[in-house]
Amino acid sequence: MSFADLPAPLRAALADRGYAEPTPVQAAVLQPEAAGRDLLVSAQTGSGKTVAYGLALATELLGDSSRLAPPGPPLALIVAPTRELALQVKAELTWLYAPAGGRVVSCVGGMDPVAERRQLAQGAHLVVGTPGRLRDHLERGNLAPASLRAVVLDEADEMLDLGFKEELEAILEETPAERRTLMFSATVPRGIAALAKGYQRDALRIEATTQGEQHGDIEYRAALVAPYELERAVVNVLRLEDPRIAMVFCATRATVARLHGNLSERGFSAVALSGELSQAERNRALQNLRDGRARVCVATDVAARGIDLPDLGLVIHAELPRDPETLLHRSGRTGRAGRKGVSVLLVPHTRRALGERLLAAARVKAAWGPAPSAEAIRARDAERLAEQARALAAEEPAEEDLAVARTLLADPALAAQGAEGLAAALVRVLRAPLPAPEELSEITARPPRREAPAPRAAGGQDGGQEGIWFRMDVGRNGNADPRWLLPFLCRRGHVTRQEIGRIRILGRETQFEVAPYAAARFAAAARRAEGEDAHIRVEPMQPVKGPPRRPRR
């Protein structure tokens, strides 16, 4: 399938944008059996689906003509889950239909509804908007639906997740029954299937990607970290990868605010995106990323939906996503339109099993390993600084730069340093703006569960090794209860239940055993006590050395 059968204005627009061949989803909607039919399409994020449904609408908009009639009541309606996605869709459809004289109007929350009403009154061929705002314009009579020939629901699964089912049904009920309905969704859960059954007629099901096939342009990595070092690990991943733009995902607004502040304090040019920001603030943050004034975006899942940053090369999951779909949507911000990207999950070692289940459910294979160390970052810095110095030396020096160099060489104190000393000074100057890497605890990756020794073996042995004994200053007299002791120890020492051995509850203290390979990690975490239980003193009863090599069966 090619673009050869498209109307001439669309072919011209595609050629001007460098489109030579259609992507899989574009080819799928252009196949002869899809012509004029309702479509239920699932495709990966970043696969070119906006252009795909723009091309699929050509028959409804242009017919046999090469140019659209003057704008009037809209011919097609596109519904998107977020303001950012709706505005991006508007931009895409504007260039696609510009040679044909197309006019595209957006109606999104956060913008002036009076200005939108005036634009609708001036006429449009396509209207793009968010569910709530479009429903409002329909109910107020600002948007006339009688002439609509097609409706597109973009990222339909996201709209249901965000609670827009009622709005979508209200919009579809207002549009002509004979319209063409196109649904694009990354996944087709039960809610989408029900919506399609109720509002589509004999829809053609299109799966533009092979089920279970990993996105080839995204490299997935899973880094094991200590739970209290997640933010430090974010710093080290950013420093090692050094992408043009990176996006860091957090679960809550509070975490976004804290991490954004910490990254900015460490010297990263960062912006934050969360639901509490106004539309003007969100637009300003995104523009800073596109202009290069910021390189890191810290965001919640909802705030980042639909954002398209072409130079985004790295996604960091600072907090694990809540489900496989969220993992894929987050990661899909990178690796778009043929570009390569990296998605890094920071997995607390106590939650590795959850990380493994998430990846398996998403049908994603990730390379497991530790978070980048400070040593690895310094080694990478040395490589980059050498490349930067070589590139600077290869350029023809300007006369004013030569004058400064002669002055420096004439200085006896500098001349005494020699070439090596001057080169070292240059390196220091180049290194100065770089945020310092963080020292992270060494995390020993456990073997697969079926190979793991039983830490609580009879007699207190752990695969033949005696555990390390600790004490805490709460015992039977302080109502030490086995029901809360084990969860408390796991939380305090950032270990799993399997890494706690025998527990002895005495009168004034409790003694317990920790697996040898986890003892140093437990001791370090126990010293960083926080929260309501911080007053409980936990200390080793014997010297704790660095983590030994974990025994294998």
Q: Do domains 218-372 and 452-540 have the same CATH topology?
A: no
Is 99 in contact with 9 (CB distance < 8 Å)? yes
Tokens describing residue 386: 């050498």
**pLDDT (tens digit per residue) in 447-481:** 444 433 444 443 343 444 578 999 999 998 888 88
- Residue 534: pLDDT band (50, 70, 90) is confident
Using the predicted structure, report yes or no on whether residue 505 has a pLDDT greater than 50. Answer: yes
The vertex-236 CA angle with 233 and 237, nearest 5°, equals: 85
Beta strands in 169-311 (DSSP E): 180-184, 204-207, 218-225, 245-250, 270-273, 296-300
Nearest to 195 by CA among 216, 209, 208, 181: 181
Main-chain phi, psi angles of 272, to 5 degrees: -120, 145
Burial 305-338, CB ≥16 within 10 A → b, else e: bbbbbeebbbbbbbbbbeebbbbbbbbbbbbbee
Residue 495 pLDDT level (bands cut at 50, 70, 90):
confident
In this prediction, residues 343-353 reach a mean pLDDT of: 91
Q: Determine whether 39 is exposed, middle or buried from the number of CB atoms within 10 Å of its CB (0-12, 13-18, 19+).
A: buried
Confidence label for 1 from pLDDT (cuts 50, 70 and 90): low
Q: What is the mean pLDDT of the chain?
A: 85
Longest dimension (CA), the chain: 90
CA–CA gap between residue 316 and residue 328 (Å, rounded): 12
The answer to whether the CB of 165 falls within 8 A of the CB of 148 is no
pLDDT attached to residue 464: 46
The contacts of residue 474 (CB under 8 Å, 6+ apart) are 480, 509, 510, 536
Q: How far apart are CA 285 and CA 293, in angstroms?
A: 9
User: Are 304 and 249 spatial neighbours (Cβ–Cβ below 8 Å)?
Assistant: yes
The residues, any chain, with a CB within 8 Å of residue 539's CB and separated by 6 or more, are 470, 471, 472, 526
Flag whether pLDDT at 491 surpasses 50.
yes
Q: What is the pTM of this model?
A: 0.61
pLDDT, tens only, 190-237: 888 888 899 999 899 998 754 445 566 889 999 999 888 899 999 999
Domain borders along the chain are 8-207, 218-372, 376-431, 452-540
Is CATH 3.40.50.300 what the domain over 452-540 is classified as, yes or no? no
CATH for 8-207 (3.30.70.1350, 1.20.1050.140, 3.40.50.300, 3.20.20.450): 3.40.50.300
User: Half-sphere exposure (CA, 13 Å, Cβ side) for 553?
Assistant: 12
Rounded CA separation 435/381 (Å)? 11
Number of H helices, E strands in the chain: 21, 20
Which tokens belong to 540?
Answer: 């080793």
Q: Please tell me the CATH code under which domain 218-372 is placed.
A: 3.40.50.300
Q: What gap in Å lies between CA 507 and CA 477, rounded to an integer?
A: 5
